[in-house]
Amino acid sequence: MKLIPTGIENFKTLIDKNAYYIDKTNFISEVLNEQVALYTRPRRFGKTLNMSMLYYFFSNKEKENSYLFDGLSISHNSEAMKHQNQYPVIFLSLKEMTNSSYERQLNAFSNIIYELLEKT
């Protein structure tokens, strides 16, 4: 029986657990066709999952996870597939920042940036 992915925000986890997934990989083609893009969505609308999908597709650190896209819509787009795992990607989520003071939020953001820089 397939898992209903309530609360799963990591694309790899979702695919590896064989959970239900509405194929949104054509979004990758849209991103490739834009020079600058801003995507806003309401809460609980899959923003983090989509960003995770983009990370696993574009990141040159995730070549061993290229199988995640096998059989999905994007795998049939040869032009888009030329971009798979070709770029350094920084995946930054501000979900953990709480509604606290400006100073605390700035400090939390600084910590996030510091951790990202340590990983590269």
What's the confidence (pLDDT) of residue 120?
Answer: 62
- pLDDT tens-digit readout, 37-96: 887 888 778 889 999 999 999 999 999 999 999 999 999 999 999 999 999 988 877 776
* pTM for the model: 0.83
Give residue 55's Cα distance to chain centre: 4
Q: What backbone phi and psi angles, to 5 degrees, belong to 59?
A: -65, 130
Least confident of 13-17, 48-52, 86-90, 112-116: 112-116
For the segment 18-32, the average pLDDT, to the nearest whole number, is 95
Query: What is the end-to-end Cα distance of the chain in Å, rounded?
Result: 39
Strand partners, 59: 87
**What six digits make up the tokens of 62?**
């995730």
- pLDDT value at 97 more than 80: no
